[in-house]
Amino acid sequence: MPSRTISNEAMTRRLLVLAFGSLVASAVVGRAADPAADLLAGHAKECPKCDLAGANLKRFDLREANLAGASLAGATLHGVNLAGANLAGANLTGANLNKTDLKRAYLAGARLGEAMLYEADLSGSDLTRADLAGAMMGSSHLTFATLDAANIADADLADAQLHGVMLRGADLSRSDLSQTTLRRAELMGAHLEGASLLRADLRGADLKRADLRNADLMRADLTGADLSGADLKGARLLLAKLTDAKLDDADLAGTIMPDGTTHQ
């Protein structure tokens, strides 16, 4: 009889151990199956295509995170560290990215329409073909960023730093670029019709074949800029600096020149 009792007790312990192991395994599997919950808990940074719309990620450390294709529409990302993160194709429509660190981030094809990016640092980031229509980017840093073919129409970029930025073929129609630094920026074929470039620093900028119809360039510094073939019909260049600027084949019909005269 004693041996049978010992055997039953051993069996009970074994069953308890197996049951506990199963519970632990289930918990681990369950957690692994929800990368969004892991990211929100601060346990992971791999969350491609995750649904994080409206999430509060304020001041999270998401350096080098993989959020490609993720939905972050309306999310709060104020002050988040996203340096080097992969956000290609992500939906950040209406998101709060004020003062966010996005240095060297990959945002190609990302949707950032009407997003808030005040004082955000996007230096060296890739925003090729990104949608930034209506985005609020005042005082942001985009030094040496790539925004080729991006849609930045109706955006606020006042006082932004865009030294050496690539905006080839980008749409900046009606955007506010007043007092923006665009030294040596590449704006070939860019659409800037109706844009405000009041007091903008465009020294050495490449604006070949750019569309600047009805743009306001009053007091802008275009020293050494290349405006060859640019469309400047109806633009305002009042008091602008054009020292050593190239205007070969530029269309200046109706343009208000630096001295106040209207070009015929």
Quote the pTM value.
Answer: 0.86
* pLDDT digit string, tens, across residues 130-183: 999 999 999 999 999 999 999 999 999 999 999 999 999 999 999 999 999 999
Query: Which helix (DSSP H) or strand (DSSP E) does residue 2 occupy?
Result: helix 2-32
One-letter amino acid of 38: D
The encoded tokens of residue 207 equal 């604006």
For CA atoms 175, 194, 91, 103, the dihedral sign is: negative
Would you say residue 49 has pLDDT above 60? Answer: yes
Chain segment 184-218, per-residue pLDDT in tens = 999 999 999 999 999 999 999 999 999 999 999 99
Rounded Cα distance between 145 and 57, Å, is 24
> Which residue, 256, 254, 234, 253, is CA-closest to 242?
256
Computed over every residue of the chain, the mean pLDDT equals: 92
Q: Provide the pLDDT confidence category of residue 251 given band limits of 50, 70 and 90.
A: very high
CA distance 120 to 236: 30
Helix (H, G, I), strand (E, B) or coil at 83: coil
Q: Where are the domains of the chain?
A: 2-33
Q: Are 151 and 133 in contact (CB under 8 A)?
A: yes
Does residue 233 register a pLDDT over 50? yes
pLDDT for position 16: 54
Answer yes or no: are the C-beta atoms of 87 and 108 closer than 8 Å: no
What confidence tier does 264 reach under pLDDT thresholds 50, 70, 90?
confident
Burial (Cβ within 10 Å: 0-12, 13-18, ≥19) of residue 131: buried
Q: Kindly provide the b/e burial profile for residues 87-100, where b requires at least 16 CB atoms within 10 angstroms of the residue's own CB.
A: bbbbbbbbbbbbbb
Mean pLDDT over 251-261 rounds to 97
Flag whether pLDDT at 24 surpasses 70: no
